[in-house]
A and B are shown apart, each in its own frame.
Chain A
């Protein structure tokens, strides 16, 4: 559905998108994950035909974004980061306005507006001015405006910025629901947990370049990050236990950290039976044990050398 090849876009001396390539398949939720200023919004703007690329190529639904922007626009919906709504108008009037711009009229327009209000759980508030809505309601309406013409692909640019956890969960459920109906989604965010839980595949973007690409497991493998098994032992037992564990297969290192034994291995869960058996054989009790799996935060740190919310 989306094919991006060696895309470049600069603003003056700043290269916002730098040789970016990726592809998104039909029905997929693809996440572009990166901090503010990484190039996510610029990428969406180019794909949405709002900005011309300096180099490279991009296709959306088989149409070149530069050569056939009109065809691209008919197939996509865009949900900007801002609440791009007319606050004085009602939710229904907002939807009808954009529906008319896309050529919907009469009964078709009315039915589509009703359907989207229902989907966003805003039917009861359809005729109220948007300025009286809560942040979550406005965000849901913001998304519905991108769907009014029933696009094949929806570009969502950080759609949960500035709302509480409950409203965020509701929006993520909404996106999953739309995806289940066949909608392809390109989703940008700097919230790791959203990308982790919502997206089928993730492209980690930094300084306009794609730093990593794949589903969560693939990303972890690409990075070579390991599980950490952290064990609380009697102080005298830690050093011998570390020496013994370091020699086990699949263990890359074992050492003492803040009074605890830390074992770095490829699969922490698989290591647990042997660990328990060895400790029992040595007559040692196990006070506390935890297995820490690598997450996107640690991956991101490793890829970019900085925390994501910087």
Chain B
């Protein structure tokens, strides 16, 4: 009987969504539009044939490791590597990008080879202009090159060739760090990079806009819950559902089911976009989406308990979804925002979820590598469910 009640409530929500054309547009149409348009903007996918942008390298080290890095950078179709005659300096590299004469400039410091040889962590500095189309690609190319260099070094050190444990350690604790300075209107805060390797703007917009529209659709449904309370259907459901807790579970699970269907369709269609790949861990992918949709549904239920009118629901729901999306790094990659904003993002479910996606796509991490983020999402879910349970009576009485 109880399972039947929950099934009926979930079925009711699914039917309501399916019967509303506007809902279907917001579920699938709008997100796909955003993903494609913004992916092209971020990833420079629609530029057509033209000369590859230039990455200027100032090699202050001139040692074998530095040369290996430059070699690894070369031959990439998306970028043309130009090694400057002079050793230059970090300031020179920055000034070139700042002036707009280069999309990106890399500075290899004089101590680069010496640091690596001594077993110390070596530092690289990259300046790029995020306003310019292929800047993100420059960063990606560099990250790939650094990883390749480290991998080769690790292989050499292991003598027997590939050493999985050593390779895994490099992913977690890289010996070469990359300091990135974004210039142009997004500001100049130096950011430590996670060395995540994205090769397409869709790799950001695909997952992040899926997360955003799942969250947004849930929070838009706050209006429906408030309207149900006002028109009496919620009281009617409460009478029929045998207990208010069964009703609460049904109201929570209905949107979760719709959200998961939405995510499955969007993430599936995203795979048709150039460069899309969610990594090698379906478990991490599924668990992330289950936790995120559950968190979003619990949040919507909580927000509904604070709203008395549909107008309040619209205002609060939309504000919450916009703030969570923007602050959580769903509108633009978190790497382009200042450090304190990145910390704020990780306090939000959106930030945690998009970081898992970045780790899956860029680093190939699975459940183990993302355990912390998934645990954080689970903790947020528990907190929101507790709050929703404490306030649910206000919704139905």
A86 touching B5 in the complex, CB below 8 Å, given contacts A97-B11, A100-B11, A129-B19: no
Select which of B19, B231, B397 is within 8 A of A82 by beta carbon: B231
Q: Establish whether residues A73 and B236, one from each chain, have CB atoms under 8 Å apart when the complex forms.
A: no
- The answer to the question of A93 belonging to the interface, with a C-beta cut-off of 8 Å to chain B, is yes
- Beta-carbon contact of A73 and B4 below 8 Å: no
Assembly CA distance A149 to B397 (angstroms):
23
Interchain pairs with CB closer than 8 A, number: 64
Bitwise interface map of A from 72 to 88 toward B, beta carbon under 8 Å scored 1, else 0: 01000010111111101
CB of B1 within 8 A of chain A? yes
Contacts of A129 in B (CB 8 A): 19
User: In the complex the two chains form, is A84's CB within 8 Å of B19's CB?
Assistant: no
CA distance A78 to B232 in the complex (A): 11
B77 at interface by CB-CB < 8 Å? no
Q: What is the distance, in angstroms, from B19's C-beta to the closest C-beta of chain A?
A: 4
B232 touches A84 (CB 8 A): yes
Known: A50-B238, A73-B239, A129-B19. Is A85-B233 also a contact (CB below 8 A)?
Answer: yes
Q: How far is the CB of A141 from chain B (nearest CB, A)?
A: 12
Whether B8 sits at the interface, judged by CB under 8 Å, is yes
Contacting B at CB under 8 A, from A47-64, are 48-51
The proximity string for A residues 84-107 relative to B, scoring 1 for CB distances below 8 Å and 0 otherwise, is 111011000100011011110100
Closest to A97 in B: B12
Asked if residues B231 and A83 are in contact (CB atoms below 8 Å), the reply is: yes
Chain A residues contacting B397 (CB-CB under 8 Å) are: 50-51
Question: Which residues of A lie under 8 Å from residue B20 when comparing CB positions?
Answer: 88
Cβ-defined contact, A101 with B19, below 8 A: no
B7 within 8 A of A: yes
Main SS at interface, chain B: helix
Which of B7, B230, B239 contacts A48, CB < 8 Å? Answer: B239
Q: Are B4 and A84 in contact (CB under 8 A)?
A: no
B11 with A50: CB separation less than 8 A: no
Q: Which residue of B lies closest to A129 (CB)?
A: B19
Write the nearest CB–CB distance from A186 to chain B, whole angstroms: 15
Count residues of B near A (Cβ-Cβ below 8 Å).
26
Tell whether A101 pairs with B5 under 8 Å between CB atoms, given A84-B232, A88-B20.
Answer: yes
A residues near B9, Cβ cutoff 8 Å: 101
Residues B235 and A101 in contact, CB atoms below 8 Å apart: no
Known A83-B231, A86-B12: A98·B236 in contact at CB below 8 Å: yes
Partner of B232, one of A80, A98, A103: A80
Min CB gap A98→B, angstroms: 6
Tell me if B241 counts as interface (CB < 8 A to partner A): yes
Contacts of B235 in A (CB 8 A): 50, 80, 84
Give every chain A residue within 8 A of B15 (Cβ-Cβ): 89, 93, 97
Contact partners of B241 in chain A: CB under 8 A: 101
Are A100 and B7 closer than 8 Å at their CB atoms? yes
Complex Cα–Cα for A103 and B7 (A)? 11
Cβ of B5: which chain A residues have Cβ within 8 Å of it? 101
Shortest beta-carbon distance from B340 to chain A in Å: 44
- Enumerate chain B residues within 8 angstroms of A70, measured Cβ to Cβ: 242-243
Whether the pair B232, A82 counts as a contact (CB closer than 8 A) is: yes
Please, which residues of chain B bring their CB within 8 A of the CB of A97? 8, 11-12, 15
Contact residues in B for A80 (Cβ distance below 8 Å): 232, 235-236
Decide if A145 is an interface residue (CB 8 Å cutoff).
Answer: yes
Residues on A with C-beta less than 8 A from B16 are 86, 88-89
Residues of chain A with a CB closer than 8 A to B286's CB: none
Q: Return B5 CB to nearest CB of chain A, in Å.
A: 6
Nearest Cβ on chain A to B359's Cβ, whole angstroms: 40
Task: Establish whether residues A101 and B8, one from each chain, have CB atoms under 8 Å apart when the complex forms.
Answer: yes
CB distance from A157 to the nearest CB of B (A): 9
Which B residues touch A145, using CB under 8 A? 236
Q: Tell me the complex Cα distance, A152–B235, Å.
A: 20
B240 sits at the interface (CB 8 A): yes
Which one of B4, B11, B12 contacts A103 once the chains associate, using CB atoms below 8 Å?
B4
B257 CB to nearest A CB, Å: 15
User: Is B237's CB within 8 Å of the partner chain A?
Assistant: yes
A-contact 0/1 string along B1-28, CB 8 Å cutoff: 1001101110110011001100000000
Of all chain B residues, the one with the shortest Cβ separation from A50 is B235
| Residue from B7, B230, B235, B237 having most chain A Cβ neighbours under 10 A | B235
Residues of A contacting B4 in the complex (Cβ-Cβ under 8 angstroms): 100-101, 103, 105
Which residue of B has the minimal Cβ distance to A73?
B239
Smallest CB-CB separation from B20: which chain A residue?
Answer: A88
Q: Which residues, 216 to 250 on B, are CB-close (under 8 Å) to A?
A: 230-233, 235-243
How long is the Cα–Cα vector from A82 to B230 in the complex, in angstroms?
9
Nearest CB on B from A12, distance (A): 14
Asked if A84 contacts B239 (CB within 8 A), the reply is no
Q: Are the CB atoms of A86 and B233 closer together than 8 Å?
A: yes
A81 partner residues in chain B, CB cutoff 8 A: 232
| Bound Cα distance A292, B8 (Å) | 56
A102 CB contacts on chain B under 8 angstroms: 240
Q: How far is the CA of A17 from the CA of B103 in the complex (A)?
A: 76
Could you write out 6 A-B pairs with CB less than 8 Å apart?
Answer: A50-B397, A82-B230, A82-B232, A89-B19, A97-B11, A103-B1
A residues with a Cβ closer than 8 A to B are 48-51, 70, 73, 78, 80-86, 88-89, 93, 97-98, 100-103, 105, 129, 145, 149
Q: Which residues of B approach A to under 8 Å, CB–CB? A: 1, 4-5, 7-9, 11-12, 15-16, 19-20, 230-233, 235-243, 397
Closest 9 CB pairs of A and B: A84-B232, A100-B8, A82-B232, A101-B240, A88-B19, A80-B232, A84-B233, A84-B236, A101-B8
Give 8 new A-B contacts, CB below 8 A, not counting A73-B239, A86-B12. A50-B235, A73-B240, A82-B231, A83-B232, A89-B16, A97-B15, A100-B7, A103-B4
